[in-house]
């Protein structure tokens, strides 16, 4: 076996490990977020029968609506706790993301060394996430403001145009959010690579310097950045759409336990498929950052 094949197999094994790491962390954190909701459902006593909570998912069952009516106080409290847990999980998910990037960048390193590096870049990842949250919120708010501003100008236009204009603007806002998300991942890749090289200049390893480098990458190779990130996003969406299509076509008379197992399996396969595309994009982000650094 030649060196090129060995290198390719090593990278594939690292990519698979990175994907499994992201999948396991997201699944465990997702279960943690949903746990308060499960406790609220149990507190309502709606799942105390011999069939458990399976009765809530039977076709045509009114028990789910009854649960929302009777268990509203418990569900409201559980939702607040779940939202707080979701925020904490989103922050803690940055550590597995850093480990996944490290696996893609430097295969064959000890886990302890990777973990230390991931913890060192965690503040920078958190700062970049806060910046991205503000920018993407502004990008989502801008279409709404622009649509309101254009409403008087479109008052005499065709009704179809007036109906399509807000949808097109929101689509452009989502398109821009995805583009900025690509810059965010390139900045994260830059932070990690500069930490791996242990640059003496701490300013060059900060969040602002990494984001500036990501903007430089986009300015130099805009088509390559967009041609790498948007197919990955589309691939992930395709996986979830296929899972939804499969679940919509299942037999409504299927036993509840089997239907729940099928729904869980389809969802997890869609998640794995989306993570595979995500890993592909993270590898491209590392390459773009290294080429322009």
Asked if 188 contacts 101 with a C-beta cutoff of 8 angstroms, the reply is: yes
Q: What is the pLDDT of residue 254?
A: 67
Query: Dihedral of CA 278/282/19/191: which sign?
Result: negative
The C-alpha atoms of residue 125 and residue 98 are separated, in whole angstroms, by 8
DSSP labels for 186-206? HHHHHHHHHHHTT-S-GGGGS
Angle at 86 between CA 85 and CA 88, to 5 degrees: 65
E strand spans, the chain: none
271 Cβ contact partners less than 8 Å away, ≥ 6 residues apart? 23, 26, 27, 239
Q: What is the pLDDT of residue 203?
A: 46
Nearest residue to 174 via CA among 144, 148, 130, 140: 140
Distance of CA 4 to the CA centre of its chain: 32
pLDDT in tens, the chain (293 residues): 455 666 677 778 888 889 999 999 998 998 899 888 888 777 766 666 555 556 666 655 566 676 677 767 778 888 889 999 999 999 999 999 999 999 888 877 778 888 888 899 999 999 999 998 899 889 888 888 887 777 777 667 666 777 777 788 888 888 888 889 999 999 999 998 888 766 555 544 678 888 889 999 999 988 999 899 999 999 999 999 998 888 777 766 666 667 778 888 888 899 999 999 999 999 999 999 888 76
The pTM score is 0.83
């Amino acid at each position: 076996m030649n060196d090129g094949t060995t290198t390719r197999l090593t990278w594939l094994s690292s990519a698979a490990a990175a994907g499994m790491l992201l999948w396991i962390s997201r699944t465990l954190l997702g279960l943690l977020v949903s746990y308060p909701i499960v406790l609220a459902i149990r507190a309502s006593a709606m799942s105390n029968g011999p069939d458990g909570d399976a009765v809530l998912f039977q076709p045509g069952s009114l028990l789910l609506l009854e649960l929302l009516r009777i268990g509203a106080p418990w569900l409201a409290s559980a939702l607040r706790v779940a939202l707080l847990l979701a925020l904490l999980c989103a922050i803690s998910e940055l550590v597995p993301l850093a480990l996944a990037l490290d696996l893609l960048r430097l295969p064959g390193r000890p886990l302890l060394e990777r973990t230390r590096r991931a913890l060192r870049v965690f503040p920078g990842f958190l700062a970049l996430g806060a910046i991205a949250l503000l920018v993407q919120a502004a990008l989502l708010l801008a279409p709404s403001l622009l649509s309101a501003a254009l409403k008087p100008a479109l008052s005499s236009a065709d009704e179809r145009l007036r109906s399509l204009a807000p949808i097109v603007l929101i689509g452009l806002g989502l398109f821009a959010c995805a583009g900025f998300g690509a810059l965010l991942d390139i900045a994260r890749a830059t932070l990690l690579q500069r930490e791996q090289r242990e640059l003496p200049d701490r300013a060059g390893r900060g969040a602002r310097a990494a984001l500036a480098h990501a903007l430089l990458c986009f300015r130099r190779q805009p088509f390559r950045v967009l041609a790498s990130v948007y197919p990955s996003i589309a691939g992930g969406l395709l996986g979830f759409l296929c899972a939804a299509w499969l679940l919509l076509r299942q037999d409504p008379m299927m036993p509840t336990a089997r239907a729940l197992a099928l729904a869980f399996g389809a969802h997890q396969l869609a998640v794995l498929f989306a993570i595979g595309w995500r890993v592909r994009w993270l590898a491209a982000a590392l390459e773009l950052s290294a080429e322009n650094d």
